[in-house]
Structure formats: C-alpha cells, structure tokens
Amino acid sequence: MRILGNVGVLLAAALVSLTACAKTVLPPDYVATAPIARTPELSPPAAPEEPDASRNAAAARMATAYLGVPYVWAGSSPTGFDCSGLVTYVFARVGVSIPHNAAQQYQYGTPVPRDHLQAGDLVFFNRLRHNGIYLGDGRFVHATSPGGVKISRLDDDWFRTHWVGARRL
C-alpha cells in the first residue's frame, strides 16, 4: 500500500509539472543544457538527409493548418495552443523536440538576423514571452489571446517594437 501512495504522489507531481505555467520567465543568463532531440516516431516519412530548411518550411506550412484553433494557456494540442505550445507541437511532428517554453526555445538552434529569415524560423517577442513560426514575406503564425492561432506581420507596430530575435532550428 505504501508503494501505491508514493506512486500517487509522483503522479500528482507529474501532473502539476505538466499543467504548470508554460510562460516562466527565465533569467537572461539561462542556458539550455538539452540538445535538440529528433523523435523518429513523430517524423514524417522523409529521407533522413532532408535539409533542415525543407523540414522547417514543412513545419511552417503545417502550423497554418491550425489557423483558428483557440488559445489555451499551456495548450499544446490541436484542441488549443499557447504560443510556445504551437511551436513545440508542430516541430515535434517534423521530428524536432523542443521544450514548451518560449524563453527555453530561444536557446535552441542558431541566431538569424531579421533580414535573413526563412520559412520555419522561430521569431521571438516581448522579452521572450511570445513567439511564433515565420512563414515568409514578413508574416508569421502564432497563438495569441484573443484570437487563437493566426497569422500576423512582423512590421505590425506591436511586433516591430517588441522584437527580440529569431532562431533557426
């Protein structure tokens, strides 16, 4: 019986960690220690040598399939997404595992100047509290409240003034 009690405590702790705030603000000197992990069971049936640019563009296209899905705090499924949950979900579908947290996602990949963005690059705003996936032509897809998953423009006032940077996975 004691073992069942410990399992219950562990399950409760796991549930709390899964439902905890996905928008934790990390200190500026935070460095992610986990490398980008590929998850073959979620990979599309493509050749392993598929270029990253092609994979990232596929992720960007896939993200647009979720336009109109409602915003859900800490959401990471087609029933509801928050910004980093959308990014995590879509990239997992193309074989890239990243954490469900915008500030942590910013630690992955390589920096990309704004004038060199490609489809599938991650774009970050508001002191790493918001992010999305670049589509091309100055547009990106993201999950926001209100509005859910939608497409916005990088040159819209709010996004232009709250720009942090971009990363290529």
Q: Enumerate the active-site residues.
A: 83, 130, 142
Tokens of 51: 């270029």
How many C-beta atoms surround the C-beta of residue 3 within 10 A?
7
The amino acid sitting at 43 is: S
Q: How far apart are CA 89 and CA 75, in angstroms?
A: 10
Report the C-alpha gap between 15 and 132 in whole angstroms.
26
Give me the phi and psi of 68, to 5 degrees please. Answer: 90, -10
Distance CA 91, CA 59 (A): 6
Check the CA dihedral 125-168-42-105 and report its sign: negative
Quick check: helix, strand or coil at residue 101? coil
